[in-house]
Amino acid sequence: EVKLVESGGGVVQPGGSLRLSCAASGFTFDASAMHWVRQAPGKGLEWVATITGDGVSSYYVDSVTGRFTVSRDNSKNFLSLQMSSLRTEDTAIYYCARDTYKWNPGTIADWGQGTLVTVS
Amino acid sequence: QSVLTQPPSASGTPGQRVTISCSGGTSNIGSDYVYWYQQLPRTAPKLLIYSNTQRPSGVPGRFSGSKSDTSASLAIDGLQSEDEADYYCAIWDDSLSKYVFGTGTKVTVL
């Protein structure tokens, strides 16, 4: 059974930093690209970042480019999102999610339960 | 604002057919696979349709996806009370290397 467990959310002041983590199990971690998707309170889904299975390539939504960094440790089955220069508009539930492909993202097959980040 | 436009809401009575549209353009829907996600209240999203028309195992057959030129649709045939949720279309825009979600549609079962 695929399991994705996020941690690291909390309350942070504007301009501050936070690091989210996602512990993955139940699948071959390095065979899957991984995503971060967020949802602001009462709003729709917004893709944040993607990293390929080998960790070589990463992609970001324009609004976080230069402020957020996605990384992964394939030896420990961990995904991270380092967030800096946080803004109030970054307040959201952040979901860790697994793609079915290693290099060609698209099918987000599994999702974690999410962790709440509040910038205030 | 998303480049994939969905109606904000849709509704039907139990047993009815409900269709949700997702409008884009030749550079996104016209070029890439479309995915659909269901988000029940206060839960994480769930994959409903991938590669335009494919259902993952475990997704009921009453859900179906289609795509035509620059738009896509999700149909629910035989609406049930447990289908009351938010539905999102999405694409991986290969030309931009970005994932894009639609604006979302709230389905209400009357």
In sequence order, the 6+-apart residues with CB closer than 8 A to the CB of B7 are B20, B21, B105
Best probe of the B interface among A108, A113, A116, by most B CBs < 10 A, is A108
Return the pLDDT at A105: 87
In sequence order, the 6+-apart residues with CB closer than 8 A to the CB of B87 are B6, B20, B36, B37, B38, B39, B48, B74, B104, B105, B106, B107
- Please answer yes or no on whether A95 and B98 come within 8 Å at the CB atom: no
pLDDT of A56 strictly over 90: yes
- Please answer yes or no on whether B88 and A44 come within 8 Å at the CB atom: yes
B28 confidence band (pLDDT: 50, 70, 90): confident
Handedness of CA A74, A75, A77, A79 (dihedral sign): negative
CA distance linking residue B2 with residue B25, whole number of Å: 12
Which residues are registered as beta bridge partners of A93? Answer: A39, A116
- Please answer yes or no on whether B44 and A112 come within 8 Å at the CB atom: yes
DSSP 3-state assignment of B61?
Answer: coil
Handedness of CA B31, A98, A28, A19 (dihedral sign): positive
Per residue in B79-101, pLDDT (tens digit) is 999 999 999 999 999 889 999 99
Average pLDDT of A107-117? 97
Mean pLDDT rounded to a whole number for chain B: 95
Nearest to A95 among B32, B44, B90 (CB): B44
CA–CA min distance B101, chain A (Å):
6
Residues of chain B with pLDDT > 90: what percent? 83
Of the candidates B50, B54, B21, B24, the residue with the CA atom closest to the CA atom of residue B36: B50
